[in-house]
Structure 1
């Protein structure tokens, strides 16, 4: 039986393990540089900047969906899905759907007008999952970033 619940501070070590698992799957394990302390403070400190839901089975977190609120000058407040992951052993069992459906519910509860995210162009399983939700896939924008 899978339970979807809000992440709590004590979930942070497990979430970071899963984030590293995701980075390995996305062929970029060296890109995870956040410390457990920073990660925990960012989600559960005085001014949290992220929130998450976890999928738990028999007391073990088997997946998560981490989001934050962003502002679009064109659309207003929207949920940004930073990461969603289900452990390899639990894939294909509906856990991702439970997490994604909970995100949709959360966005509606908060009065947000949509959810946005990114998916790697080679990640066919994820793309096919999002297609079940009639997601729109953009092709005009180029991702940019800088380190400071």
Structure 2
């Protein structure tokens, strides 16, 4: 069984391990450049900008998945939850832990009276796309992702 709870600062080492595992899965391990210190400060410092829920295996208390989000503002819709990452370790995929986390995020967004939740998924990640389809998610093919790195 899994226990879903809010992330705490002491979880960050394990969360970074899962982030690196995701980067390997997405064939981009070199893209993870955030330091543990910056990650911790951003989530648990004086002005946190992200929040997360973790899934622990009850028998071991090991974190096997997490969902990290922040609040963004849409001039059309108002405040919305942005799901940055939903990461489930490979050994636990397909066992319902992602569902538990996703449904906890939906509950959190509703509790905060947010106008909805948005996220991105890679077009080749068919298991993820199939998962989101179960929630009747809208898929938008019109928008192009853009970024600038400094």
Q: TM-score range by the shorter chain?
A: over 0.9
Aligned residue in 1 for 2:28: 28
Shift, 1:79, TM fit: 0.1
Aligned residue in 2 for 1:38: 38
Calculate the aligned-residue CA RMSD, in Å. 0.5
Aligned residue in 2 for 1:88: 90
Q: TM-score, normalised by structure 1?
A: 0.99
> 4+ residue runs of structure 1 moved beyond 6 angstroms?
none
Q: Which runs of 5 or more structure 2 residues have no equivalent in the other structure?
A: none
Matches within 5 A, 1:1-148: 1-57=1-57, 58-148=60-150
Number of equivalent positions: 148
Q: How far apart, in 2, do the equivalents of 1:89 and 1:139 lie? A: 31
Q: Which runs of 5 or more structure 1 residues have no equivalent in the other structure?
A: none
Q: TM-score, normalised by structure 2?
A: 0.98
Q: How far apart, in 2, do the equivalents of 1:133 and 1:106 lie? A: 16
Q: How far apart, in 2, do the equivalents of 1:21 and 1:88 lie? A: 8
Shift, 1:72, TM fit: 0.2
Shift, 1:147, TM fit: 1.1
Q: How far apart, in 1, do the equivalents of 2:80 and 2:74 lie? A: 7
Q: How far apart, in 2, do the equivalents of 1:20 and 1:75 lie? A: 33
What secondary structure, in the 3-state scheme, does the structure 1 residue paired with 2:71 have?
strand
Q: How far apart, in 1, do the equivalents of 2:91 and 2:20 lie? A: 16
What secondary structure, in the 3-state scheme, does the structure 1 residue paired with 2:80 have?
strand
Q: How far apart, in 1, do the equivalents of 2:149 and 2:2 lie? A: 38
CA displacement, residues 53-92 of structure 1 (integer Å, 9 cap, x when unaligned): 0000021000000000000000000000000011111111
